[in-house]
């Protein structure tokens, strides 16, 4: 496989983030999930975009978000 | 002077705090101001209550709040 097709991406919606500290807390926790290579969080929309070396179980991302103190709603 | 009269207290109103991380950021910065002994921040009202060993210049508290990324409005 080529470089691009080795990547997996997934998008979630996170509820409860109100400021940049919240974004940082979610990013930090999700970034620690094994296999995750990149995380992008949009405060306004609650969008959480995850790039990983291979597909990561959504439950692992949900758990990381909850560890940070927030909730995945989609 | 007695123990109680050695203390000074002052209350400010902080604008822009949206979550517990914001409260922690403000508390941490204000607590570092020389002479400050205790800090209490109420997220809902924006109230910042400062106890100090002796009167502290309000400008020092305002500067600490701004360092944390927020604004004193009263």
Which residues have C-beta within 8 Å of that of residue B57, sequence separation ≥ 6?
Answer: none
Which pLDDT belongs to residue A5?
58
Which pLDDT belongs to residue A1?
43
Which pLDDT belongs to residue A4?
53
Residue A65 phi, psi dihedral angles, 5° rounding? -65, -40
Which pLDDT belongs to residue B4?
53
Q: Residue A26: list chain B partners with CB under 8 A.
A: none
Q: What are A16-64's pLDDT values in tens digits?
A: 999 999 999 999 999 999 999 999 999 999 999 999 998 999 999 999 9
Neighbours of B13 (CB within 10 A): 13
| pLDDT tens across the length of chain B (74 residues) | 445 556 899 999 999 999 999 999 999 999 999 999 999 999 999 999 999 998 999 999 999 999 999 999 98
Distance between B26 CA and the closest CA of chain A, angstroms: 12
Distance between A2 CA and the closest CA of chain B, angstroms: 42
Residues of A with CB under 8 A from a CB of B: 18-19, 21-22, 25
Mutate to test the interface with A, among B15, B19, B24 (most CBs of A within 10 A): B19
C-alpha A24/C-alpha B20 separation (Å) is: 13
**Complex confidence, ipTM:** 0.71
């Amino acid at each position: 496989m080529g470089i691009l097709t080795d990547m997996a991406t997934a998008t979630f919606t996170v509820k409860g983030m109100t400021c940049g500290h919240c974004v940082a807390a979610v990013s930090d926790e999700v970034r620690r999930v094994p296999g995750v290579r990149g995380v992008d969080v949009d405060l306004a929309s609650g969008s959480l975009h995850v790039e990983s070396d291979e597909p990561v179980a959504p439950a692992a991302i949900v758990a990381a978000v909850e560890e940070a103190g927030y909730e995945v709603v989609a």
